[in-house]
C-alpha cells in the first residue's frame, strides 16, 4: 500500500507552486545578472582564469606590504 487513496497522486498546493515556478535567473527584477539563452552556460575556464588572476593580483599587492619575509 502506498498511502494514496484511489491510486492517484494527492493534489496539494505545493504542486500548483511548482507548476507556476519561475526560474529566478530569468526574473526581470534581478540586478547584475546576465540573462543568456536557455541552456547556454559560460565555460568553467573563465572562472578558473579569474581565480588565478585575482590570486596573482593579491600576491603581487602583498609584496608591497613592509615587514614581509
Look at the block and give the residue holding cell 596573482: 56
Mean of pLDDT over the chain = 75
pTM recorded for the entire structure: 0.46
Cα four-point dihedral sign 51, 52, 55, 57: negative
List of the chain residues with pLDDT < 70: 1-30, 68-69
pLDDT at position 52 is 98
Which secondary-structure segment (H or E) carries 40? none
- Locate all alpha helices (DSSP H) within the chain, ordered by sequence: 13-19, 44-62
**CA 47 centroid distance within chain:** 13
Q: Cα separation of 13 and 35, whole Å?
A: 30
Amino acid at each position: 500500500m502506498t498511502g494514496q487513496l484511489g491510486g492517484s497522486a494527492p493534489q496539494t498546493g505545493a504542486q500548483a507552486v511548482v507548476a507556476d515556478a519561475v526560474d529566478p535567473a530569468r526574473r526581470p527584477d534581478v540586478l547584475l545578472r546576465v540573462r543568456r539563452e536557455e541552456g547556454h552556460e559560460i565555460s568553467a575556464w573563465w572562472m578558473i582564469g579569474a581565480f588565478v588572476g585575482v590570486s596573482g593580483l593579491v600576491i603581487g599587492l602583498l609584496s608591497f606590504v613592509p615587514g614581509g619575509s
